[in-house]
A and B are shown apart, each in its own frame.
Chain A
Amino acid sequence: MAFEGLAEKLQSVFKRLRGKGKLTEADVEAALREVRLALLEADVHFKVVKDFIARVRQRAVGQEVLESLTPAQQVIKIVHDELTQLMGGQQARLDLGGAPPVPVMLVGLQGSGKTTTAAKLARLLARQGRQPLLVAADVYRPAAVEQLVTLGQQIQLPVHAPGTDRDPVDIAREGVAEARRRGRDVVIIDTAGRLHIDDALMEELERIRQAVAPREILLVVDAMTGQDAVNVAETFHRRLGIDGVVLTKLDGDARGGAALSVRAVTGRPIKFVGLGERVDQLEPFHPERMASRILGM
């Protein structure tokens, strides 16, 4: 399971810390060095780790902690707090308020899991009583439209898919109109994968945003992503103003540090996690629970 490696590492650091009873500043420093390496090994971004360690150090190295009755416990609690903060504190829900049809747009790098997530999300919302319409706005990837149409059939939900010789901006706009006509109340727009540095394609997303004013723009991020996650998230956020993140492929053994980095640099919460290829494998993200699991608490 994802995060497991990080959990093991941190727990062994804390076990040693607990075994010590009284703590010196040097003990805390040694533990922080190990925490730093554990986070880096988990793919948390270099700078995010640096800031994190600085914050923990500031709170942990003071007299209050070191001279308390349970110094190790206090240090661990500080790390837990900071880790929970890093993951976004409270659970963040999707905001589908406003007049229907409410547009939701999925964006991200190539292969991160957008199309699959679009179908998963549509299915989840349908089970909550919503009436989603999927929109196939990836006109570039070979058979991207067919992929979404096939998934739509699997989950028995309609897909607006006018083909690939159309402008994705028009497809999105018409998708919303189509939803209004058919009385569908949520529109989930699947967009083509793109690099954050691809100016023309990033601009296309800006135009879609302008055309349909999505209530939620969700950045879909692969949990196995390394240090580049911050560049990607920062750029997508700067250009589009994302509302949340979907972290996919958490069913593997990725240490999941990208989750921490993305949240830290965008300030936007992880809203869902993808836990498999099947359309029923999408779950809400619970930061506090995840922090507890990482720390084995």
Chain B
Amino acid sequence: VVQGAALDESLYEDLEAVLITADVGVATTQRLLERLRERVRAEGVRDAEAVPQLLAEEMRAVLEAVAAPPATPAGRDEPLVVLVVGVNGSGKTTTTGKLASRYRKEGWRVVVGAADTFRAAAIDQLERWCQRSGAELVRQHPGADPAAVAFDALQAARARGANVLLVDTAGRLHTRVNLMEELRKTVRVLQRLDPTAPHEVLLVLDATTGQNALAQARHFTDAVGVTGIVLTKLDGTARGGMVVAIADQLGLPVKWVGTGEGADDLAPFDPAEFVRALFDGGPAGGGA
């Protein structure tokens, strides 16, 4: 990143540019750089080229400290219930489709609940995804109560002996109190059938999102107990650095990353790979 740079203030400025332009955010960037300066002092580092590596290690440590694997249907008697939530357009339906496909390929029986009954043609979109993977869609009419759809879907999943239930929900901004309450209700209704459900609540974040991601993570966690993040659209030039801030400040792990619009463009999160990509190519847009 900063080859040949002297170990002086300008090195830290360059690294600040890398972190800020990757959307790590001001607070976490400052915290990371402070820790870095301490380490450089404590370890008596003289070689400027070693410093970015140390920063990468610090970031990886932040992500690894909270890491957790995705929930699996293996060894369960009852369906694994996964609720997919997030703001508008982040990639929930696509992620639901990809997950269904992935679980199907692993040989599980998958039911998908179309609990976005609001957005135009959201149900049709999900139906296309299910047709591709052989997952079974449970749907009602547009405008139906989303909680009722989720309830139906869990009932169907149990009746059919499915291993996984994925529930796609409507996009909502975390500032919309009534819509967040609707999500809470969906959880309560699921819990009438299975008090341990949902076993996974995935917050889908668009990697191009800036600092608002932190507010999203905070509010969705307060409302429905997010268990992990899906970071989508990493195939673009955005680096998704706000997940470092979210790990640092909220302790939430990333579980999956989305890298395209195809069924196979979903992978388990790999902190080392993520941090490497974040530093590759230096500051987006030519920063420093």
Contacts and interface: CB of A to CB of B under 8 A. Distances in A.
Contact of B261 (A40, A110, A249, A254): A110
B210 A227 contact: yes
User: At the interface, is chain B mostly helix, strand, loop or mixed?
Assistant: loop
Contacts of A252: 87, 173-175, 212
B23 interface: yes
A234 B286 CA distance: 12
Which residue, A147, A196, A254, has most C-beta atoms of chain B within 10 A? A254
B237 A147 contact: no
B233 interface: yes
Contacts, number: 154
A271 interface: no
A151 B118 CA distance: 12
Interface string B43-68: 00000000000000000000000000
Interface stretch (A10-18, A58-66, A218-226, A237-245): A218-226
Contacts of A231: 237-238, 284-285
B268 interface: no
Interface stretch (B119-127, B157-165, B246-254): B119-127
A224 B242 CA distance: 12
Interface in A217-266: 222, 224-232, 234, 249, 251-255, 257-258
A45 B21 contact: yes
A43 B211 contact: yes
B15 interface: no
B211 A255 contact: yes
Given A45-B21, A251-B173, A226 B237 contact: no
A232 B87 contact: no
A274 to B, nearest CB: 10
Given A46-B21, A252-B174, A146 B124 contact: yes
Interface residues of A, number: 49
B25 interface: yes
Interface in A110-129: 110-113, 115
Contacts of B23: 43, 226-228
Contacts of A154: 120
A144 B120 CA distance: 9
Nearest to B23: A226
A42 B210 CA distance: 8
Contact of B175 (A47, A253, A255): A253
Contacts of B38: none
Nearest to B20: A46
Interface in A88-121: 109-113, 115
Interface stretch (B88-96, B104-112, B194-202): B88-96
Interface in B209-254: 209-213, 215, 233, 235-239, 242
Contacts of B284: 227-228, 230-231
B169 interface: no
Interface of A: 37, 40-43, 45-47, 109-113, 115, 140-144, 146-151, 154, 195-197, 222, 224-232, 234, 249, 251-255, 257-258, 277
